[in-house]
Amino acid sequence: MNATTVVSTDLLTPLGAYLRLRESGVAAFLLESVEHGRLGRHSFIGAGSRLVGFAEAADLGAAAVGYLGYEHAATLEPSVSLPAAGRELPKSGFVVADTLVRFDHGLGMAEVLCGDPGRV
């Protein structure tokens, strides 16, 4: 199990962490949980320098966040029909997180799960 580093959230918000981290990588993400229109328990923020497809992300054994496009869903579930024409987009895309931060709004703390805490 990897050791985590707890960082103070007195002056740090999920949006502030995202704005700092997005400058350091190729891609960044901010995932907020919302329950009944209110901020939920956790927020996840990360950034990375590698973008990979679904097959590579599944084999990494590392934190990767991304999307599976509608076309990919059709390969998993043949009953999903695809539109005749549309923009050509990748079927999937994932950013491998060099830095990953979990905010726990219930406890008022944030943990750097991987990466350099000084970048947050």
pLDDT tens digits for range 68-118: 887 777 777 888 777 776 667 778 889 999 899 999 998 999 999 887 777
According to the model, what pLDDT value does residue 87 have? 66
Q: Give the up-direction half-sphere exposure of residue 53: CA atoms within 13 A in the CB hemisphere.
A: 5
Whole-prediction pTM? 0.78
What are the residue boundaries of the structural domains of the chain, listed by start? 5-78+90-119
* 59 pLDDT above the threshold of 60: yes
Dist. CA 94–CA 57, nearest whole Å = 7
Q: Is the pLDDT of residue 31 over 90?
A: yes
